[in-house]
């Protein structure tokens, strides 16, 4: 009996061991071999680049819903893949892979496509007016690229969201990954600030992975503050408490006043609208951020850099003008914007029907002369003015209608989800959307791939939250 028992317990265990290792060993050996080859030829970047593509692709093929979680992480960290000889960033690459797999699933599995009619008309008008504006565009290539982005994000990306994020669990996962992605990008910005202080011996503005860096960090703060409302999710609340001071510091060293002021406006609206719920959380946020900043200044950034660099960043973030008597043109950003806006308005008045061509309004802020996109000259820094100037009156009105529809939808989602587990998620995505709506008065959204995606992501998830509140009572966390 002892021998039988011994064989009964040991044999299944040993057979299980023999089933797994072959695939693990083979996969590990293959990856290691390719890595060693890449080291020999100094192709390490392309090794990790290829490995990342394979991971996303295999994940999408095996478990498509799991691959969607790459989206919020990469949106907050849009690293530009300059080593590939293109301007493609990591978020665009992920969306491209997921789109291909998704379209194949639709063709092969004949999955049902859902699209809200009230948004479809507005989206089609924006795309149609953009196409017509090509008739007067100076740079057709730039215009076509922007139209492709409209189709990709307004139609395909929005459709992808409302088709695949239809459950409370999936929406909560995106919420969590947006916080994690924002925390990562906050560390990237802080590291950049420290490196610049050590190497350049001065306090510089921080842009992280791209021009929308401060916006990602600001939305992260909104998500983190709202996450404090979770009652049962202790781990998520702990993550939020850790994220708040880090993201607050990152936003401060970015010295981007547009998104700082937009964040203040959003917190003010949330405070006035949901005063009993949000007031204590906002006070807690301020306490955490101020306390963390005081700690850093007292310890000279834990001994990494002198506190003078940090004081310079604080002064640059909270006031116009330099910290010393000399003032530079970069501090006159508001006046430069006014000049660019005036030029844009004049162009619109002269071209009210078709505009000057979608994607074609690039301006030298100092000379107020139009420039080519390749010159890396700034945008008009107002999404609303840009819409009218580039594609004409109908396009500008269509964008305003879309913003109105999105805000109205977000308010509806918050109201319908009160006293349910979806409330925190609705409040977070509403705050994120509102930040982008307010900030886009002084910034552009559509030319910045990741901000554009984030805005449509917010709208799509808010739409799903409204539908969930109609169909079922959300489950407990």
Residues 266 and 367 in one domain: no
- Report yes or no: 451 and 215 within 8 Å, Cβ to Cβ: yes
Of 157-166, 198-207, 443-452, 459-468, where does mean pLDDT reach its minimum?
A: 198-207
By mean pLDDT, which of 182-186, 202-206, 351-355 is the weakest?
A: 202-206
Q: Are 406 and 433 in contact (CB under 8 A)?
A: yes
Q: Which of 196, 176, 153, 130 is nearest to 396 (CA)?
A: 130
- Shared domain check, 473 and 392: yes
Contact 454, 219 (CB under 8 A): yes
Residue 282, token pair as written in the block: 């906002």
Q: Tokens at residue 415, please?
A: 């109201």
Give the model confidence (pLDDT) of 293-331 as tens digits.
777 666 666 666 666 666 666 666 665 444 444 444 445
- Burial of 454 (C-beta count, 10 Å sphere; 0-12/13-18/19+): buried
Residue 269 CA from chain centroid, whole number: 22
* pLDDT tens readout for residues 42-92: 666 777 778 888 889 999 998 888 889 999 988 888 888 877 777 788 889
Domain boundary among 300, 327, 354: 327
Residues 442 and 307 in one domain: no
Question: What pLDDT is attached to residue 323?
Answer: 42
- 305 assigned to some structural domain: yes
Identify whether 9 is part of a domain.
no
Q: Is residue 120 assigned to a domain?
A: yes
- What is the DSSP secondary-structure string of 118-175? HHHHHHHHHHHHHHHHGGG-S-HHHHHHHHHHHIIIIIIIHHHHHHH--SHHHHHHHH
Q: Which of 292, 327, 362 is the last residue of a domain?
A: 327
| 427-453 confidence digits (pLDDT tens) | 999 999 999 999 999 888 998 889 999
Q: Say which DSSP state 20 is in.
A: S
Q: Are residues 175 and 317 in the same domain?
A: yes
Q: Same domain for 311 and 365? A: no
Residue 467 has pLDDT above 80, yes or no: yes
Conformation bin of residue 306: beta by default, left when phi > 0, alpha when psi is -120 to 50: beta
The rounded distance, in Å, linking the Cα atoms of 173 and 180 is 10
CB 422 within 8 A of CB 469: yes
Domain count across the chain: 2
Using the predicted structure, report yes or no on whether residue 396 has a pLDDT greater than 70.
yes
Neighbours of 54 (CB within 10 A): 12
How is residue 321 annotated by DSSP? S
Mapped onto helix, strand or coil, the DSSP state of residue 369 is coil
In a domain, 456, yes or no: yes
Residues 372 and 264 in one domain: no
8-state DSSP, 360? -
Same structural domain, 153 and 228 = no
Q: What is the value of pTM for the model shown?
A: 0.84
Residue 257, domain extent: 171-327
In 3D space, the residue among 148, 149, 156, 72 whose CA is nearest the CA of residue 113 turns out to be: 156
Whether 280 and 139 map to the same domain: the answer is: no
Statement to judge: residues 406 and 315 lie in one domain: no
Within-domain flag for 143: yes
Shared domain for 130 and 187, answered yes or no, is no
> What average pLDDT does the structure give for the chain?
80
Q: Considering 279, 305, 327, which residue would you say is the last residue of a domain?
A: 327
Has residue 59 been placed in a domain? no
For residue 4, give both structure tokens: 């039988």
Q: Say yes or no: 302 and 431 in one domain.
A: no
Q: Percent helix, strand, coil in the chain (nearest 5)?
A: 75, 0, 25
In three-state secondary structure terms, 17 is helix
Are residues 187 and 193 in contact, defined by beta-carbon separation less than 8 angstroms? no
Q: Are residues 186 and 307 in the same domain?
A: yes
Given a cut of 50, whether residue 401 has pLDDT beyond it is: yes
Q: Which residue has the tokens 């060693």?
A: 36
Residue 424 located in a structural domain: yes
261 in any annotated domain: yes
d(C-alpha 425, C-alpha 431), whole Å? 10
């Amino acid at each position: 009996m002892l021998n039988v028992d011994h064989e009964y317990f040991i044999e299944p265990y040993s057979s299980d061991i023999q089933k797994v290792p072959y695939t693990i060993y083979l996969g590990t050996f293959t990856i290691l071999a390719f890595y060693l080859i890449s080291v020999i030829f100094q192709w390490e970047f392309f090794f990790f680049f290829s490995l990342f593509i394979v991971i996303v692709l295999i994940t999408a093929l095996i478990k498509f819903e799991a691959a969607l979680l790459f989206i919020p992480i990469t949106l907050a960290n849009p690293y530009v893949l300059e080593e590939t000889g293109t301007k493609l960033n990591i978020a665009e690459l992920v969306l491209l892979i997921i789109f291909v797999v998704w379209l194949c699933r639709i063709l092969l599995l004949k999955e049902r496509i859902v699209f809200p009619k009230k948004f479809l008309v507005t989206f089609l008008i924006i795309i149609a007016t953009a196409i017509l504006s090509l008739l007067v565009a100076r740079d057709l290539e730039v215009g076509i690229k922007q139209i492709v982005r409209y189709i990709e994000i307004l139609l395909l990306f929005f459709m992808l969201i409302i088709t695949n994020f239809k459950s409370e669990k999936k929406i909560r996962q995106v919420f969590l990954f947006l916080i994690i992605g924002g925390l990562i990008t906050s560390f990237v910005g802080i590291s950049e600030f420290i490196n610049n202080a050590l190497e350049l011996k001065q306090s510089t503005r921080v842009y992280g992975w791209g021009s929308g860096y401060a916006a990602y960090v600001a939305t992260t703060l909104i998500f983190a503050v709202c996450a404090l409302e979770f009652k049962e999710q202790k781990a998520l609340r702990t993550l939020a408490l850790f994220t708040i001071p880090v993201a607050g510091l990152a936003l401060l060293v970015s010295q981007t006043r547009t998104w700082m002021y937009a964040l203040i406006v959003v917190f003010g609206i949330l405070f006035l609208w949901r005063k009993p719920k949000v007031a204590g959380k906002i006070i807690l946020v301020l306490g955490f951020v101020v306390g963390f900043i005081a700690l850093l200044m007292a310890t000279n950034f834990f001994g990494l850099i002198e506190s003078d660099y940090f004081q310079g960043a604080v002064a640059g973030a909270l006031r116009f003008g330099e910290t010393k008597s000399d003032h530079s043109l970069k501090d006159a950003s508001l006046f430069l914007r006014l000049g660019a806006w005036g030029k844009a308005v004049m162009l619109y008045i002269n071209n009210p029907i078709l505009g000057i061509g979608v994607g074609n309004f690039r301006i030298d802020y100092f000379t107020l002369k139009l420039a080519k996109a390749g010159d890396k000259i700034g945008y008009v820094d107002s999404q609303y003015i840009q819409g009218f100037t580039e594609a004409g009156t109908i396009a500008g009105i269509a964008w305003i209608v879309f913003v109105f529809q999105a805000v109205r939808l977000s308010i509806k989602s918050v109201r319908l989800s009160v006293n349910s587990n979806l409330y925190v998620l609705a409040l977070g995505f509403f705050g994120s959307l509102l930040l982008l709506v307010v900030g886009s008065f002084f910034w552009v959204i559509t030319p910045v791939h990741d901000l554009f995606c984030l805005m449509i992501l917010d709208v799509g998830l808010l739409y799903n939250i409204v539908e969930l509140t109609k169909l079922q009572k959300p489950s407990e966390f």
